[in-house]
Amino acid sequence: MINFVKAGSGNSRCFYFVPFILLLLLSGLGTNSLAQQTSASSENKPIAPKILPGKGAREFDFFYAGEAKARNMYIVRNGKITWSYTDTAGKGEISDAVLMTKGNILFAHQFGVTLINPDKKVLWNYDAPAGHETHTAQPIGKDHVVFIQNGNPAKLFVVNIKTNQTEKEFELPVKNPTSVHGQFRHARLTKAGTILVAHMDMGKVCEYDINGKALLSLDVPGVWSAEPLSNGNILVAGNKNLVQEINRKGEIVWECKAGELPDYQFSSPQIALRLANGNVLVNNWYNQWETKGNPNNLPVQAIEITPDKKVVWALREWTNPLNLGPSTTIQLLGEPGVISEKVHFGNFK
């Protein structure tokens, strides 16, 4: 609002008006200034509390990996890195990783799948053909691995890592066969011997048997991951809703949306896990390729949420000596039921 200035005395009614062009200039300057202030305010707004709940990296012992420019994996004990690995042979990003019972690690790194032992020796490796990507893998017992290969066509494979022979494969539907990168990120075997697949590009969670028959199809827009729960429900995470527990009818049993945790900003939730205490652990990924964040105002990498939606633990470690990088998966050491090779897929076990 512009206030005009009145001048003169007595019966004088003389008014001095700011020229119209000047009003426009002033208005423009005010708008630009406001936009700059808003932008600066947005950049400086804390995206997580300065003091976080819990004991940081000392809260749990855990295995950690994430989609990042450097393909790094870590084991953290008592708040310190006790084991680390950098994949220098491959390229791309680590989208999935599993720490196995004997310390071996299976990981999918966009253009292949690799199994290493604790001494960092490669025990088995698969390179995806040109034009294809691999973002999820899971061991089955000692001898087999199941993984999904994005592509045209997209396929699921079961490979015997002792003989290096493909013993099962079937095609998976996708929304866009030529847009390979966004097709799949996460899949996990169930206790029934089926597999839950997060169709990221289709916005669906589907369940398949060993022959590729679709047993279930649920609409879950923005889904990144799908984890089977012991009660038969499914825990999903993604960029539309932070985390949801849904039943096999597609009904929401429990959910926690990002807006329900206003003190925390979530750029891209990836994997959510139900802990033995009933809480949910959510990884919050940070895009190193497209995001230029304030180094003094970086997001948390993971949070633990209670059923009543209270954050009781948060991890934020972006500086040495514990610079963990972006987060995709955290596997808590000693947590019941997390060793993922103790599963079966049809008759493979």
Count of domains forming the chain: 2
Taking residues 264-270, report their average pLDDT. Answer: 91
Let me know if residue 328 belongs to a domain: yes
Q: Is the pLDDT of residue 316 over 70?
A: yes
Query: What is the pLDDT, as a whole number, of residue 15?
Result: 37
Contact assessment for residue 197 and residue 207, using Cβ atoms and an 8 Å cutoff: yes
Let me know if residue 42 belongs to a domain: yes
> Are residue 107 and residue 83 in the same domain, yes or no?
yes
Q: Is the pLDDT of residue 40 over 60?
A: no
What's this model's pTM, rounded to 2 decimal places?
0.86
Let me know if residue 339 belongs to a domain: no
Q: What's the N-to-C CA distance of the chain in angstroms? A: 74
> Are residue 75 and residue 37 in the same domain, yes or no?
no
> Are residue 28 and residue 98 in the same domain, yes or no?
no
Q: Is the pLDDT of residue 33 over 80?
A: no
> Are residue 182 and residue 218 in the same domain, yes or no?
yes
Mean pLDDT of the chain: 88
Confidence of residue 37 (pLDDT cuts 50, 70, 90): very low
> Are residue 102 and residue 40 in the same domain, yes or no?
no
pLDDT tens for residues 71-112? 999 999 999 999 999 999 878 999 999 999 999 999 999 999
User: For residue 143, what is the domain's CATH number?
Assistant: 2.120.10.30
pLDDT tens for residues 106-158? 999 999 999 999 999 999 999 999 999 999 999 999 999 999 999 999 999 99
**Which domain covers residue 88, as residue numbers?**
51-332
> Are residue 276 and residue 141 in the same domain, yes or no?
yes
> Are residue 166 and residue 34 in the same domain, yes or no?
no
